[in-house]
């Protein structure tokens, strides 16, 4: 009985550790994003409502104003996922961090926080190490 419980716990920890390995993919994506994008101060000009099917929740994309690396003010529609609400999270004219593709300033979105970009995947990888270590200890 105890042996089978240890086996189930070990297997569960192995599965959780394997799922946590997605943190490595997230970390690589974050590193690529950091290498190819520039983050600057900007503001939300307004919200453009997307066409949606009747009965669906309204979706919006932010129109962002920011100065790109050449120093010129630029306005672009966010390529980021729309907000699924009638009341967008950020009001118009609010200052925000804008992340844009350095070689293509038309590609812009609200910048991720450092915790979301780096902290979450690092925590996931720490969880992987803990899960695999515990699974190994239980498997003995």
In tens, the pLDDT along 41-97 reads 999 998 888 877 787 777 788 889 999 877 888 899 888 766 666 566 778 888 888
Q: Are strands 37-49 and 95-101 parallel, antiparallel or unpaired?
A: antiparallel
Each residue's pLDDT tens digit, 32-45: 988 998 889 999 99
Q: Is 90 exceeded by the pLDDT of residue 128?
A: no
* Euclidean distance between CA atoms 53 and 66, whole angstroms: 32
Q: Exposed, middle or buried by CB within 10 Å (0-12, 13-18, 19+), for 68?
A: buried
């Amino acid at each position: 009985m105890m042996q089978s419980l240890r086996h189930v716990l070990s297997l569960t920890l192995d599965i959780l550790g394997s799922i946590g390995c997605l943190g490595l993919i997230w970390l690589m994506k974050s590193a690529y994003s950091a290498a190819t994008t520039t983050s600057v101060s900007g503001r939300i000009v307004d919200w453009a409502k997307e066409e949606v099917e009747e009965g669906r929740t309204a979706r919006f994309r932010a129109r962002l104003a920011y100065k790109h690396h050449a120093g010129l003010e630029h306005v672009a529609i966010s390529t980021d996922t729309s907000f699924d609400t009638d009341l967008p999270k950020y009001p118009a004219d609010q200052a925000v961090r804008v992340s844009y593709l350095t070689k293509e300033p038309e590609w812009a979105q609200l910048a991720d926080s450092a915790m979301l970009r780096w902290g979450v995947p690092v925590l996931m990888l720490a969880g992987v190490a803990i899960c695999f270590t515990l699974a190994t200890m239980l498997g003995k």
